[in-house]
Structure 1
Amino acid sequence: MRKEPQALLSSANILISALRQYLLGRDVLFHPDRLSFGIVLPAQPRTSADVEFDAQLKLASHADELGFDALWVRDVPLNSESYPDPVGHADPWVFLGALAAVTSNIGLATGAIVLPLRHPLHIAKAALSVAVLSQGRLVLGLGSGDRPTEYEVFGKDLEKRKSIFQDNWERLAAVLCPDQEILDENGQVRREFAVRPRLQQAPIPLVAVGSSSQSLEWIARHATAWMTYYRQLPVQRDRLTLWHNAQAKVTTEFRGFGQSMVLELVDRPDAAYEEINLGGRTGRRGLIGALSAMREAGIHHVAFNLVSGDRPPHDVMDEIAGDVMPALS
């Protein structure tokens, strides 16, 4: 039976995704020689409605079929007027478990688990569970959060978030390393305990999302990549220069750089690129030009936060996968 063009595209992208993972390992989001693409979930209108689970799982499966590199989920413990996104987000670990069950190749990334407000041993348990369930597809993005009232409700001191973040990162990384160590509140190794399941694949990449009140040298020393928010490219180039200088001071290993990007892809291929809040409005040719410039500047991953406009996310992802991604291969 002759396959339809969309089916052929999906099959080709699945093979490309599998080949990338074979050649590069599971951490294909940040690689020095390519630009990878993610989708931020939930991709639904920014209203006070809760997550539309059925719709989001279908979008996730479709993104996997199209060959996108990652699905990004947020950690929003408490909704309030001080948080700019009114959507009632699901618990990230529950959401990731569902995403792992309906996808096969796409990376599953957190953007970001609020490290100071969650116990590092709980995060380790959840992360290992998702990593094993997804056969090594988890990318663990970690951030500090910055809402004073949220810190207050959780009984945490916002002014101490820098040190809390560092301490929790150390304890989490100790559990996730190949020679697992469980550290108690005093930093002592507790050898009578283990956190299961044990990971059989490559270690889980730890990505710093936002500055988390840390210096870039600290991030370059401890994280495999730095994920930040969208800035106009001349400004982002300045951030990249700072990032490269920080890396040079502390490591010779590659460290990735990624950004989120609000995207309104209009149904007019030649529509010029227009800056909007934290992203751009454009047609596909303008998007190809903007992404090419990002890749040349040294950006390794872009996570699209799709705003609806007049087009459903499903159609936007089809156009990105069918016309934009091949142009940047």
Structure 2
Amino acid sequence: MSGLAYGIQLPVQSQSTIYAEPWEADAGPADLVEIARTADRAGFAYIAGCDHVGVPRRLAAAMSTIWYDPVATLSFLAGVTERVQLLSHVAVVGLRHPLITAKQYATLDHLSGGRLVLGVGAGHVQEEFEVLGVDFERRGPVLDESIDALRAALGPDEFPEHHGKLYDFEGLGQRPRPAQEHVPLWVGGSSPAAVRRAALKGDGWLPQGDPRHKLPTQIERIRRLREEAAVEGPFVFGAITEPLYIGEPGWEVGRRTLTGTPEVLAESLRAYGEMGVDQIQVRFRNRGRAELGDQMAEFGAEVGPLL
């Protein structure tokens, strides 16, 4: 797709107080279906879901405990959409054995006709790792090897093979295979280690909280690391935009929110493309499912073509 692709993190399925709107607390599957179908119709490149197995009490007030499982959620929504890609943003793959992760996501890719983008990240909730018997302090190296193991397990071989320090497998067949010959694997995070991991092991990068003025330096670093290591192949640079509201809100949308006509928004967002970003994850301030759907539809019709 030429120009700047745009995707969205689904509402309802993760409800951190940082970004959830009040109406989401009482929302459910019907709302997710409607928003996913709107994204599908409005030309969004992907819909995304998050991953937490459990949230400890010390973080529950800020993070909430509402975190839908990404495989279950994206599989459910694959059945009610036709073309939109299905992104885990991000799957904390170090919490599970790579063969379990591969079985789940290969099945999702198979069932959806090849629409999976596997976004992975290191994770940040210590108690989650401890209760599942995974070393939190070594989550970086665990993720590094998990990516290598998943490359093998999501590849074309019915009997994948991987021999590493943490995981060692061969001779175990897994079908169905993914529908895609190569499942895109995007790495999330903005720490130096995450950026390096994205550059050397990923097909794309999902920054975590980088304001736009920091992106050019990060993009340059990834390009340089790939060049130095002679890593070939296409690479997708992502960004998460400021919150958006098309039109004049008439309510308090927060000072960081970009508002205005489709032309004004498009001009601001095109700056991401100019710095080397390939896809933007957009988010809209809204007071309910209908308003969110309207904003998405208008974005697809009026802003998307200008990107």
Same fold (TM over 0.5): yes
Aligned to 2:41: 65
Query: What is the CA–CA distance in structure 1 between the aligned matches of 2:164 and 2:208, rounded to whole Å?
Result: 33
Query: What is the CA–CA distance in structure 2 between the aligned matches of 1:123 and 1:213, rounded to whole Å?
Result: 25
Cα contact 1:260–1:304 (8 A) shared by 2:
yes
Q: CA deviation at 1:212?
A: 7.3
Correspondence for 2:239 among 254, 259, 271: 259
Count, aligned residues: 290
Q: 1:120/1:205 Cα in 2 relative to 1: closer, same or farther (>3 Å)?
A: same
Aligned to 2:9: 40
Once the two structures are superposed, residues 217-250 of structure 1 have per-residue CA deviations (whole angstroms, 9 ceiling, x without a partner) of: 4422211011113433222112112122112112
Report matched runs for 1:75-154 at 5 Å.
Answer: 75-80=51-56, 81-82=58-59, 84-86=62-64, 88-154=66-132
Query: What is the CA–CA distance in structure 2 between the aligned matches of 1:234 and 1:242, rounded to whole Å?
Result: 14
Q: CA RMSD in A?
A: 2.6
Query: What is the CA–CA distance in structure 1 between the aligned matches of 2:203 and 2:148, rounded to whole Å?
Result: 14
Task: For residue 25 of structure 2, give the secondary structure of its aligned residue in structure 1.
Answer: coil
Once the two structures are superposed, residues 191-225 of structure 1 have per-residue CA deviations (whole angstroms, 9 ceiling, x without a partner) of: 1x111112343321111011477364442221101
Correspondence for 2:215 among 219, 236, 260: 236
Letter in 2 for 1:121: L
Letter in 2 for 1:247: R
Cα contact 2:155–2:181 (8 A) shared by 1:
no
**How does the TM-score come out when normalised to structure 1?**
0.79
Q: 1:274/1:246 Cα in 2 relative to 1: closer, same or farther (>3 Å)?
A: farther
2:159 maps to 1:196: no
Aligned to 2:153: 175
Q: 1:290/1:114 Cα in 2 relative to 1: closer, same or farther (>3 Å)?
A: same
Q: CA deviation at 1:82?
A: 2.4
**How does the TM-score come out when normalised to structure 2?**
0.85
Q: 1:206/1:325 Cα in 2 relative to 1: closer, same or farther (>3 Å)?
A: same
Cα contact 1:114–1:142 (8 A) shared by 2:
yes
2:294 maps to 1:315: yes
Once the two structures are superposed, residues 8-63 of structure 1 have per-residue CA deviations (whole angstroms, 9 ceiling, x without a partner) of: xxxxxxxxxxxx5xxxxxxxxxxxx5310101112562578375111111110121
Query: What is the CA–CA distance in structure 2 between the aligned matches of 1:92 and 1:56, rounded to whole Å?
Result: 13
Task: For residue 171 of structure 1, give the secondary structure of its aligned residue in structure 2.
Answer: helix
Cα contact 1:165–1:212 (8 A) shared by 2:
no
Q: 1:215/1:56 Cα in 2 relative to 1: closer, same or farther (>3 Å)?
A: closer
Letter in 2 for 1:60: A
Query: What is the CA–CA distance in structure 1 between the aligned matches of 2:196 and 2:32, rounded to whole Å?
Result: 37
Q: CA deviation at 1:306?
A: 2.9
Q: CA deviation at 1:150?
A: 2.4
Query: What is the CA–CA distance in structure 2 between the aligned matches of 1:161 and 1:85, rounded to whole Å?
Result: 21
Letter in 2 for 1:91: D
2:305 maps to 1:326: yes
Unaligned runs of 5+ in 1: 1-19, 21-32
Identity %: 27
Letter in 2 for 1:54: A
Letter in 2 for 1:82: L
